[in-house]
Amino acid sequence: MILAMAKAHKAPWGCVYAKEDKSECKPGEVPTSDREYFEILCLCVLQAGLNWRAVRRNWQKYKKAFFGFDVDKLAKAQAERLVERPNVIKNRRKVEAIIYNAREFQKIREEYGSFRNFLASLRQLEDEELFKLLAKKFRHMGIYTAEYFLHSVGYWK
């Protein structure tokens, strides 16, 4: 991986490296819908520990396989059936995490009205506290993934 060749880009869709010079990666655009927030959350979960380029290259296939990252459809899904769908990543733990996260996302929407409102309610938290809270709330999300997710949705610079 040659970081010096990386061009300035916006998170999340322009990023192709797990580790890079943060000055090269500009914050992503603030999503306009809960579905967009959830899609980016799923992107962060799916690419954790994998080759980011491969995940991006196959993103449209994943999007179709995961019902367009529709929170309500995924919250009802069963991991054993979802894993069998064409183009679904075969890592069962990641699939289970996406289903669990869809259910958590529904709870957040119910309580706060939208994911954006939920994030706004967390503005008083210190960075590390915020990363830990998200890592605890969502599955297959560590502190680094939480940081990248917030950066990708334009919340954290």
pLDDT of 5 over the 90 cut: no
CB-side exposure of 95: number of CA atoms within 13 Å? 20
Give the pair of three-digit tokens for residue 66: 């995961």
Q: Say how far apart CA 78 and CA 69 lie, in whole Å.
A: 14
Count each helix (H run) and each strand (E run) in the chain, helices first: 9, 2
SS3 68: helix
pLDDT of 47 over the 60 cut: yes
pLDDT at 136: 97
Angle between helix axes 34-47 and 143-152 (nearest 10 degrees) is 140
**Residue 115 belongs to domain spanning:** 34-152
Residue 77 lies in a domain: yes
Long-range contacts (CB closer than 8 Å, 24 or more residues apart) made by 2-10: none
The whole-number average pLDDT for the span 123-145 is: 95
The whole-number average pLDDT for the span 126-137 is: 96
pLDDT tens per residue, range 78-93: 999 999 988 888 899 9
Binning pLDDT at 50, 70 and 90, where does residue 3 land?
A: very low
12 cis-preceded (ω within 30 degrees of 0): yes
Question: Can you give the CATH number for the domain in which 100 is found?
Answer: 1.10.340.30
Q: Say how far apart CA 143 and CA 47 lie, in whole Å.
A: 14
Residue 7 lies in a domain: no
Residue 157 lies in a domain: no
The whole-number average pLDDT for the span 34-62 is: 91
Residue 17 lies in a domain: no
Residue 27 lies in a domain: no
pLDDT at 18: 54
Percent of the chain predicted with pLDDT > 70: 88
pLDDT at 16: 61
Mean pLDDT in the chain? 88
Is residue 40 within 8 A of residue 56, CB to CB? The reply is: no
Phi first, then psi, for residue 134 (nearest 5°) are -65, -40
Residue 44 lies in a domain: yes
- Angle ∠(14,138,27) on CA atoms, nearest 5: 25
DSSP state of 155: S
Residue 106 lies in a domain: yes
Give the number of domains in the chain: 1
Say whether pTM exceeds 0.75: yes
The whole-number average pLDDT for the span 151-156 is: 87
Residue 123 lies in a domain: yes
